[in-house]
Chain A
Amino acid sequence: MPDGWLLDITESPDGRSVVLWVKDRSNGRVRRTSVDYRPPFLVAGPRAELLRLAERLRRAPTVAGCQPIVGRPSLFDRRPRTVLRVVPAVNSARRTLARAVDALGGYATFTLYDVDLSPPQLYHLEHRLYPFAPVVHGPDRALVATEAAETVEYLPPPLRVARLEVHLAGERRGRIPPPDGRIGMVRLGDRTLDGPEEAVLRALADEIARTEPDVLLTDGGDEFDLPWLYRRAAERGLRPEEFALGREPAPFAPARPARAFTSYGRVLHRAATYPVPGRFHLDRANSFLYDDAELAGLVDAARLSRLSLQTIARQSPGTCFTAMEMAQALAHGVHVPWKKNRPEEFRTGEALVASDRGGVILLPPVGVHDRVEEFDFASLYPHLMVRKNLSAETLDCRCCPASPWRAPGLGYRSCTRRQGLIPRTLEPLLARRLAYKAALRTPGLAPEAARRLRQRIKMLKWILVTAFGYQGYRNARFGRIECHEAINAYARELLAGLLAEAERAGYRVVHGIVDSLWLRPLAPEDPPDPEAFARRASARFDLPLGYEGRYRWIVFLPAVTHGLGVPNRYYGLYERGEFKLRGIGGRRHDTPTFLRRFELEVLSLFEGAADAEGVRARLPRALRRADLFAERLRTGAWPVDELLIAHRIGQAPEAFVTFTDSVAALRQLGEAGARRGAGETVRFAILDRASRSWRARVRAAELLTGEERYDVGAYLELLAREAETLLAPLGVRRADLLARWDGAARPPRAPFRSPEAPGQQALAAGAVGTFSPPTA
């Protein structure tokens, strides 16, 4: 039995050590141990240059040590070479020092390794430890993990979770906090602390110290609860020692500032993070992964990636996968390049067109269909990477000129002698996911255990999904574009082969997307056995094709622009009674509640349909529902909070040049003192869509009184659009609906003459120049 669990490793403020937080198994207490640790980074380059650099570095006060060693730092190194091992004087100087070295080499002479791995991450890897490892105290009190991080069945540490919720005096949560707001009440777990502000703060610190939670769980804590707690504590003159939310005092400042970033073409916002050393703060609102995978999934990911739970919760699955790659690389003596230095090779336009393609995406036939069966490859891309040994260093290797693995149509070979880094990282993840799935089928599994398994499976799914995308990301440390292309080429070939196989088996292809296939038996009265087909295809292509199920009916939706099918917009009902919805309102975050309600009503109406004919027969009833919704909207009595539209803004409020609903809401928020940055979401109700005034056009969610009169026409239009989206294949048109509901024509908008826009006046006055919108 382990003595306890290693919860986390944090950086120590002195810059020369890391702090290990170990939870004792017998009494549940957490012990803090500080260990001297200053990890080196490596510098590679021409030998003579390295020796000259070493001379210089030895004299520098920011360097604690510097010596040449022999190694193979790069994934592409075939022979060992001399590299410089540099230890910074303090851990916080790692990057500064690395940048200086890089500059000394003119940004070309030297290649640096392991610079941006954090000291805790490196400590884990160097000592074969990982977050939540069961540990024993070995000789000289060193911690030793009792099992490998990759262990599939493990006992997770018992984590004490406490919800934390801060309320300002006289304010409702979720409204815009006044700048001088005071904390009136704090909830921690099931305790409520109130009274004078300073007493509440002190009581909170005491309560946390007494109950010793490991995880503080908040809803929007990065944005609101923690900054307000620290801000008010500072205001009240409390010192970090008197008001510690973590297990040791921490400065009242964010560890990472807020920032905006782009992902898949969207601008996203990440709130600042505040440290709570020794504990974890999980903010459901600032965590993509927590929502989907919850604690068990995050713990699993932390173990495998060697990243702290606190970090994992705030990062994307891609970061997680990268960290796993790094761990895998370092375990095999390969170091992590700081800057990827592998430009894409030159090629002809023709080659580029041929190679730069994605998977096969067919156009589905618009309409209601029945007797459709769905087949999916499970984790197709990761499996291909493993099967075909696709990795940056295994493509077109010099050792296997006659490799049988060649990307179809592109000809990239992959190595048959050494397993690549990516497949090596992915293989255990795939095995793990399968093992969890198998465990899930154990008879008599406790519901709690099943839930935990499902959370882990979800987490792994996300990580596996990103593993492919990261191959094509220009900054991915071990990524390579040719690898990305090769995977797509194999996948295209596979689906093309599968289409033919399906027809031979007695199916007609209805639709196909990359790794999924929708088929209809040619002879419905004598259909092929779907399970047998899946087994046969899996064996033939050596990849796991699964039978997802048969649909009672499925509706493929058309594009508004050209009326042909949209590959990823459909909804259907499996025979087992489960819906599959893609690309319709309820799946999107910005859909107002009243539209979700409408969608839900239509779906529950169609739930009774046994086949396509049944769906068509229910159309009149669906339309009557739409009429009822329209009627109720028209009375003006629909609760405004169900009409809120959410918009993620892609740029800073000042950067908008057109006046939109979002801009109006942003101005209102700005005036109330709540600035929103790029990537943040603004929610509002439309009050008068024709208005030119930012006060009258919409009302921001935070400022709603509940007395507002919403714009009936605007919402009827939204309803008509939603009804058309769902029912277009049944012949429903938006214009017909609007005509039927009558009076929803868009009112004309007055020409732009807003007295609120000084920029406009300046333009009119002839002051042509840069346009500076008013700041609220």
Chain B
Amino acid sequence: MGRTAPTYRQALEERMKRWDAFARLLTTPEDRAAFELVRTGARRYAAQATYVGSPDLLESILLSVLTDLAGRLRTEAAERTRGLR
């Protein structure tokens, strides 16, 4: 396992190295922090992405990042309503 075809986690880390260049040209701390969130999101659902076993790496990464973001949105929305009450 992971010798002939890289595991999802290996492939993800490999792809993220390419993203370093993207991060290098982000100029504000806010942008960089946001980008770190995307990275974290990409890593958070590695188990689920492995379980899907999709040949499309980007599909798995996007699912992971989007789920992470959607989760954060929900938490924030919940906090906001709690604050209103």
Contacts and interface: CB of A to CB of B under 8 A. Distances in A.
Interface of A: 349-350, 352-354, 356-358, 360-363, 409, 472, 484, 488, 492, 496, 562-564
Contacts of A361: 47, 50
A488 B2 CA distance: 13
A374 to B, nearest CB: 18
Interface of B: 1-2, 4-5, 7-8, 39-40, 43-44, 46-47, 50-51, 53-55
Contact of A562 (B7, B40, B55): B40
A357 B47 contact: no
Given A353-B53, A358-B1, A363 B7 contact: no
A723 to B, nearest CB: 24
Given A409-B53, A496-B51, A358 B43 contact: no
A8 to B, nearest CB: 39
A360 B8 CA distance: 12
Contact of B7 (A357, A362, A496): A357
Contacts of A492: 51
A362 B47 contact: yes
A356 B5 CA distance: 7
Q: Which of B5, B7, B8, B44 has the most CB of A within 10 A?
A: B5
B50 A349 contact: no
A472 B4 CA distance: 12
Contact of A354 (B1, B7, B47, B55): B55
A639 B21 CA distance: 48
A352 B5 contact: yes
Given A352-B4, A353-B5, A356-B4, A363 B53 contact: no
Given A356-B4, A356-B5, A363-B44, A562 B39 contact: yes
B57 to A, nearest CB: 9
B40 A350 contact: no
A224 B52 CA distance: 53
Contact of A360 (B1, B40, B44, B51): B51
B51 A564 contact: no
Contact of B55 (A349, A358, A362, A472): A349
Contacts of B7: 357-358
Nearest to A495: B51
Contacts of A360: 47, 50-51
Contacts of A362: 47
A755 B53 CA distance: 55
A517 B50 CA distance: 18
Contacts of B4: 352, 356
A349 B47 contact: no
A354 B53 contact: yes
Q: Which of A353, A563, A564 has the most CB of B within 10 A?
A: A353
16 contacts: A349-B5, A352-B5, A353-B53, A353-B55, A354-B53, A354-B55, A356-B2, A356-B4, A357-B8, A358-B2, A358-B7, A361-B50, A363-B43, A492-B51, A496-B51, A564-B40
Nearest to A350: B55
Contacts of B55: 349-350, 353-354
A562 B36 CA distance: 9
Nearest to B46: A363
